[in-house]
Amino acid sequence: MSVARESGDRAQELRDKARHMTEAAERTTDPEQRQRLQEKARKLQEQSEQQGNMGGGGNMGGGNIRPPK
């Protein structure tokens, strides 16, 4: 399996976990628990975006990559 494929798979796993956390947050009646779950979901979503950019080719994530001189 290529690095890009593995990175994409990992990003998808993180997105799935984030979605499950968001759904759990919507179901809970405890405001503190809801906030914790929403925060975890947000962090997982950020991680999935970073993972997706790592192996996806190109420079979609920005960063400090400069063209050769």
Residue-level pLDDT at 52: 77
HSE-CB of 62 using CA atoms within 13 angstroms = 1
pLDDT truncated to tens, each residue of the chain (69 aa)?
Answer: 566 677 788 889 999 999 999 999 999 999 999 999 999 999 999 999 888 777 654 444 445 566 666
CA distance 9 to 11: 5
CA-nearest of 16, 23, 51 to 37 is 23
pLDDT value at residue 59: 47
The pTM (predicted TM-score) of the whole model is 0.67
